[in-house]
Structure 1
Amino acid sequence: MNLILENTSQVKYFTNMVEVFSALKIRCAEYDWYVSDIETNGYSIAEGWYSGDVLESLIHSSDVQFIWAVLSAFSVGTRFEVIIDPYIYDNPAYWDGSNPGPQLKEALFEIGCWDSSATILVGITPEMAKSFKSTYSDATELENTSK
């Protein structure tokens, strides 16, 4: 399932990952992450692999906001060479109504941070979607949002 949260006053920052993980009712540390296409509010974060514990510590110890980013979630222990980094900036798959899946085939789901103005969830479970929508009732299905 794919959701987007945009054009709402229900969040202070669309790209605050602490709030996103809380709304999904998951812990960052339950997954390993590949983070790419990153622009933040001044924090230097490298593209690449992060253990869930490291990423969780990073987002909890600072006020980092991901202006642009793709956070791809994997089962703990997953690592492989990524040939083409997932991207969100100018990625038509998010906006063409095609109901995209995670850009990395092995990813369980991905979180997209869109220009500080939207949070995009791709490939989340129905349980995650229900939880997210119970926190943010303005979240809608991504395939209904074409630009």
Structure 2
Amino acid sequence: MKNLILEKTDQVRWYTNMRDVFEAANIAPQDYDWYVSDIETNWKPPGFKLDDQWFTGDELAGFLLANEIQFIWAVFSAVPKGLRPITTPAPCVEDNPRYWDGTEPGPQLEGALFEIACWDSSGTILINLPAQAIDSFVTRYPGAKPLAAARS
């Protein structure tokens, strides 16, 4: 499995809690830099912008640890530390047909290793995660299925 979706299950407390997603996939946010785009959340913590933005891995890990936040819409693009590619166009989730067009999409951001998309607070889409992360996620959430199976 290259790409997964977790939706329509009671295995999660609530979808798109990125702290839980990283834990389930056994991904340390500190190992990457992150571009987070197309952001809508259930609340806006003080000092947090809903604009597309860069986080170091340490910043993202600290933010998620300090805030119980649900991302309704967002794309988390993981890049090697220190890489800051051009972000135009910014990765998007809500209007992105690539998730459903019958192909196996890769990360939208040039140079990204993988991406995690928060889909309308009702699903989590994992694109191009490392095999061990996929295995860990599926072990934690056996209801995760290949993204291709979710296409209509």
- TM-score tier by shorter-chain length is over 0.9
Unaligned runs of 5+ in 1: none
Which residue does the alignment assign to 2:43?
42
**For 1:60, which of 61, 65, 68 is the aligned residue?**
65
Which residue does the alignment assign to 1:17?
18
Cα-Cα RMSD: 1.0
CA contact 1:33–1:74 (8 Å) conserved in 2: yes
User: Mean Cα displacement is larger for which, 91-100 or 14-23?
Assistant: 91-100
CA contact 1:97–1:142 (8 Å) conserved in 2: no
Unaligned runs of 5+ in 2: none
Which residue does the alignment assign to 1:105?
110
1:78 aligns with 2:83: yes
In the alignment, the residues of structure 1 paired with residue 148 and residue 106 of structure 2 have an alpha-carbon distance, to the nearest angstrom, of: 11
Shift of residue 99, structure 1, vs aligned partner: 1.0
1:65-123 CA-to-partner distances (Å, cap 9, x unmatched) read 10000000011111133110000002111112211000012100000000000000001
In the alignment, the residues of structure 1 paired with residue 39 and residue 102 of structure 2 have an alpha-carbon distance, to the nearest angstrom, of: 24
Q: What is the TM-score normalised by the length of structure 1?
A: 0.96
In structure 2, give the amino acid aligned to 1:102: P
1:117 aligns with 2:122: yes
Count of aligned pairs between the two proteins: 147
Which residue does the alignment assign to 2:33?
32
Which residue does the alignment assign to 1:133?
138
* Runs of 4+ residues over 3 Å off in structure 1: none
CA contact 1:97–1:145 (8 Å) conserved in 2: no
User: Mean Cα displacement is larger for which, 93-102 or 38-47?
Assistant: 38-47
SS in structure 1 at match of 2:54? strand
Shift of residue 130, structure 1, vs aligned partner: 0.6
Which residue does the alignment assign to 1:94?
99
1:29-60 CA-to-partner distances (Å, cap 9, x unmatched) read 11100000000012143312110110111111
SS in structure 1 at match of 2:43? coil
Which residue does the alignment assign to 1:142?
147
In structure 2, give the amino acid aligned to 1:18: R
